[in-house]
């Protein structure tokens, strides 16, 4: 997963450098730039498989997640592993969980 994350960062950087989003008369702020790049990278819908590692000073655990997004309205995440949490899901519709 580390390679995929680096590819995403590299892609975002390349888009920032390659896309002419700064107008001479009115330069957009940081929020506008991030929103523009996010829109270019993500699109309206997205789905995928991700691994999330949670680390504290006492323990570490890894979760494998499957997610579906219909931005910005709905997001559904299902935990695939470890077996103890497998099947747990989270649904967000607008600001409601």
Residue bearing tokens 């409601």: 96
Are 80 and 64 spatial neighbours (Cβ–Cβ below 8 Å)? yes
Query: How many structural domains is the chain composed of?
Result: 2
Q: Where are the alpha helices (DSSP H) in the chain?
A: 2-18, 30-42
3-state secondary structure of 30: helix
pLDDT of the chain along its 97 residues, tens only?
A: 556 655 655 666 655 555 554 444 578 898 999 888 887 887 788 899 999 999 999 999 999 999 999 977 899 999 999 999 999 999 999 989 8
> Within this chain, do residues 36 and 13 fall inside the same structural domain, yes or no?
yes
Same domain, 51 and 94: yes
Whether residue 49 is found in the same domain as residue 95: yes
Q: 3-state class of 71 per DSSP?
A: coil
Same domain, 10 and 37: yes
Range of the domain at 35: 1-42
Query: What is the spatial distance between Cα 83 and Cα 76, in angstroms, rounded to a whole number?
Result: 19
38 and 62 belong to one structural domain:
no
Q: What is the pLDDT of residue 45?
A: 86
Pair (54, 65) in one structural domain: yes
Q: Tell me, what's the pLDDT at 35?
A: 86
């Amino acid at each position: 997963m580390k390679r995929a994350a680096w590819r995403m960062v590299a892609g975002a950087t390349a888009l920032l450098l390659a896309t002419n989003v700064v107008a001479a008369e009115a330069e957009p702020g940081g929020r506008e730039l991030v929103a523009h790049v996010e829109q270019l990278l993500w699109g309206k819908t997205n789905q995928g498989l991700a691994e999330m590692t949670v680390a504290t000073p006492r323990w570490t655990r890894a979760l494998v997640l499957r997610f579906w997004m219909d931005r910005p309205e709905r997001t559904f995440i299902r935990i695939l592993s470890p077996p103890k949490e497998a099947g747990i899901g989270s649904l967000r519709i607008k600001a409601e969980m």
